[in-house]
Amino acid sequence: MTRILLLLLLPLFAGSQESAVPLVLFARGEVTYSAPEKRPINVYTGTYLAGPGQITVAEGAGVEIGHRNCYIRIEDPGTYALTDLLAKEPPATGFLKRFIEFVRRGFDQSATDQDLERAYLSNQGNSQGNVEGFGDAGLAGLKPFGGTLCPEPTPFTWPAAAADATYRVRIVDSLTDASLLSVVTKDTSVLVDLGALDLRDGGRYFWEVFPQPGAPARLGRPSASATGVRIRFTYREMPCEEVLADLRQTPFYRDSTTQEQRQLLEVMVLEEEGYLYAADRLYQESIRQSTDAYPLRRNYAAFLARWNQRSAARDLIHPR
């Protein structure tokens, strides 16, 4: 019996031209698509399926498709009319709606350099809102770039001001402006065990970095008034892994066909919950370990662009 999973979802991206075209979320093996009066094309992850055509899945191959209100998984060989699949009406689910929207957004926002710029502009208020005064240095080259941090060793990194620069790094209580950590270093990264500091669960803090007197005073994006940067973050005592506990119990996560799909689900939840550093780290680890990093790479590029790491995002879609 042919195994096809088709789930009816709420409409996505109302008014978006791209959302009217089915998107291949994942493809493995030999999959082709034939639209009327057009030659068959090979189907890969990220392919848009235009027209009322037929999709052919070879032995051992598989494909997953998202389209407006539907999610389709085909795991057995055969030829299928896409319009027939989309016409079915199984139960609705909000979780898959979120996932289709997340993956589609990643592909849409990372298609070109211009799309990366639009991704940044769409989230500019959130990304620049993490920066507190001290000139508009932005977030470029600075990590963590806000969000929620967990009780674990965390590297705080920043772009170099000059080859021989010295920096002062502090973690500061946002309510009292009390300094909880102060380090002077010539490096451009400091590893801090946040669990060892006296941080409140749910408390708001800044981490800040300043070139010491006598060194050039530009960090992040050049700005005449930039003498350093201060970035907001929230601290939670709960380990980051616990944020994913509910996700890992869902049938869709357990039934995912690839490790890459499970990793995309995890970074989706981490970003939704505001654990930006954990999402960034998982993206990097997943891409290093993946045998098919294409969907991860495209979605990571979109993620970086949204959080004003546009240079790194461009490097991902234009590998050297």
Same domain? For 65 and 183 the reply is no
Q: Find the distance separating the first CA and the last CA of the chain, reported in whole Å.
A: 46
pLDDT exceeds 50 at position 276: yes
Domain end residue (candidates: 93, 119, 146): 93
How many Å apart are CA 222 and CA 228, to the nearest integer? 11
Same domain? For 33 and 135 the reply is no
Q: Which residue has the higher pLDDT, 94 or 225?
A: 94
Same domain? For 189 and 161 the reply is yes
Tell me, yes or no, whether 101 lies in a domain.
no
Q: What is the pLDDT of residues 23-71, one digit of tens each?
A: 999 999 999 999 887 889 999 998 999 888 999 999 999 999 988 778 8
Same domain? For 125 and 78 the reply is no
Same domain? For 73 and 126 the reply is no
How many Å apart are CA 316 and CA 96, to the nearest integer? 27
Tell me, yes or no, whether 169 lies in a domain.
yes
How many Å apart are CA 303 and CA 209, to the nearest integer? 24
Same domain? For 114 and 255 the reply is yes
Domain end residue (candidates: 58, 93, 128): 93
Tell me, yes or no, whether 98 lies in a domain.
no
- Split into its structural domains, the chain has a count of 2
pTM > 0.85: no
Lowest mean pLDDT among 96-105, 181-190, 236-245: 96-105
Tell me, yes or no, whether 165 lies in a domain.
yes
Same domain? For 39 and 154 the reply is no
Query: Nearest-5° angle of CA 68, CA 46, CA 260?
Result: 100
Average pLDDT over residues 271-286: 95
Same domain? For 117 and 50 the reply is no
Task: Write out the residue range of the structural domain in which residue 33 sits.
Answer: 4-93
Looking at residue 70, its pLDDT comes to: 82
Same domain? For 238 and 315 the reply is yes
How many Å apart are CA 195 and CA 133, to the nearest integer? 27
Q: Which residue has the higher pLDDT, 137 or 93?
A: 93
Tell me, yes or no, whether 135 lies in a domain.
yes
| Contact (CB, 8 A) for 91 and 57 | no
Same domain? For 85 and 137 the reply is no
- What CATH number corresponds to the domain at position 187? 2.60.40.10
Tell me, yes or no, whether 10 lies in a domain.
yes
Same domain? For 122 and 270 the reply is yes
Domain end residue (candidates: 64, 93, 122): 93
Q: What is the pLDDT of residues 227-252, one digit of tens each?
A: 678 899 999 999 999 999 999 999 88
Strands of 167-173's sheet in order across: 148-149, 229-235, 204-211, 167-173, 179-185
Same domain? For 239 and 320 the reply is yes
Tell me, yes or no, whether 102 lies in a domain.
no
Looking at residue 91, its pLDDT comes to: 47
Average pLDDT over residues 246-270: 92
Tell me, yes or no, whether 105 lies in a domain.
no
Residue with tokens 């869902």: 250
pLDDT exceeds 70 at position 306: yes
Torsion-angle region of 304 (φ positive above 0: left; ψ -120 to 50: alpha; else: beta): alpha
